[in-house]
Amino acid sequence: MIKNKLIVVVLICSICIVAIVGTLFLCLTSNSEQKKQEAIENTVADFEIYKKSRDINMHRVWIIENGPSRIKYWRIAAKEGSSEGILFLGRSYRHGITEYQSFSKATKLYKQSAEMGNSVAMCNMGMACQYGFAGKYDMKEALRWYRKAAELGDPAAMVDIGYLYKSSFRDFKMAIKWYTRAADLGSALAMNNLGLMYYYGQGTKKDYKKANELFLKSAELGYPDAMENIGESYLRGKGIDKNYDLAYEWFIKAAEFDDEEAMLYLGYMSNRGLGTEKDSKEAFDWYSCSAKLGYDEAMWRLGLLYQNGVGCETNKSSAFFWHEKAAKLGDDDGMWRLGYCYENGIGCETNMSHALLWYGRSADKGYKSAKADLKRLKNKIKDTTNPN
């Protein structure tokens, strides 16, 4: 009797344990499925943001800034077969957000996503072919991928086609055709690029007025390069009435996106009191920001401020440093100013052979002041060595 009771108790306990384990399993499975679903939903939401950022050419920045905090659920989404997750995982390998950087792995993931019908991934495959990330440069294959995306109505793909025709095939008329198609679909990037075609007369007659209309539309849609372009037009008065206030306003907006050329112009305008109060310290700060972002003209202009103590304490060593950086980036004005530093011992030991070298390099690029100084210094050295 006791034995039977024990058996019953054991059976009841076993049933209870099985029930508890089953419940825990269901809870864990349910939680796991919920996490997978949340990862996919978050990834799809990110994809919509990413697509919008492509139109103002900020998608790379978005990936680099946001990838580290999102890579965990992108991986889950990719594992579940989400084309968006697979694309983002590819971009993460491309930019080294994953445990290591790998262009080949990125390309494989782009292709996998593209073959699932993802137009953005198709564009990435086009880029991989165009810039050699896929192992070799293949412009025809790049065009094929871009066209596949364009057929799905992707404006960014149309812009990519336009740029490929412009930069690689040198067919400006086809570039205009594709930029126009994308611009008609509301692409800010396409409007700006089309504006540049009219501005420089590539594939069409120069038309500053038309260019400015396109720059303005693009700028109002939030594209930083267009903000800088319309600002420059207002500053120079090309195809539009000069308006320093509007120029300064657009440069400020572009600078908020770290546009180094806009920062250069803000330094220029601050130094001369155009569209704002004259403020040499403000000019120094803007030139510094632009130079530190790698803009060569800002470098020698910053060097000039250090050289003359404008907006800062005079610092010949810093002047030499920034003139040299600009010169080594191939800026003709920077080369000339570096030659001047060597000739006059500004922030360095006087060295006439180095002065001749940098004047010569600048002169070779057609810089008139460098040509004159090269000739003058050669004659000076000749007169010194041959006084009679």
Summarize pLDDT for 308-338 with one digit per residue, the tens.
Answer: 999 999 999 999 999 999 999 999 999 999 9
pTM equals 0.86
302 within 8 A of 322, measured Cβ to Cβ: yes
pLDDT at 35: 87
Find the mean pLDDT for residues 101-129. 96
Measured distance CA(287)–CA(315) in Å, rounded: 15
Domains annotated on the chain, with CATH:
33-134 (1.25.40), 292-388 (1.25.40.10)
Q: Over 70: is that where the pLDDT of 1 sits? A: no
Find the mean pLDDT for residues 227-238. 97
Task: Give residue for tokens 């004659």.
Answer: 379
In the chain, the percentage of residues whose pLDDT exceeds 90 is 86
Measured distance CA(348)–CA(346) in Å, rounded: 5
Q: With cut-offs at 50, 70 and 90, classify the pLDDT of residue 266.
A: very high
pLDDT at 33: 84
Find the mean pLDDT for residues 189-203. 98
pLDDT at 152: 97
Q: What is the DSSP letter of 309?
A: T
335 within 8 A of 367, measured Cβ to Cβ: yes
Q: With cut-offs at 50, 70 and 90, classify the pLDDT of residue 7.
A: low
Which segment, 4-13, 50-59, 187-196, is predicted with the most confidence on average?
Answer: 187-196
Q: Over 50: is that where the pLDDT of 27 sits? A: no
Measured distance CA(343)–CA(178) in Å, rounded: 52
Phi-psi label, residue 239: left if phi above 0, alpha if psi -120 to 50, beta otherwise = left
pLDDT at 134: 75
Q: At what angle do helices 83-95 and 119-130 cross, to 10 degrees?
A: 30
pLDDT at 16: 52
Q: Over 90: is that where the pLDDT of 19 sits? A: no
Q: Determine which of 29-43, 245-259, 302-316 has the lowest per-residue pLDDT on average.
A: 29-43
pLDDT at 11: 55
Measured distance CA(86)–CA(47) in Å, rounded: 11
pLDDT at 36: 87
For the record, the structure tokens of 121 come out as 């991934």
For the record, the structure tokens of 219 come out as 């700028």
pLDDT at 383: 78
pLDDT at 334: 97
The mean pLDDT value of the chain amounts to 92
Q: Over 80: is that where the pLDDT of 205 sits? A: yes
Q: With cut-offs at 50, 70 and 90, classify the pLDDT of residue 12.
A: low
A 10 A CB-CB count for 75 gives: 17
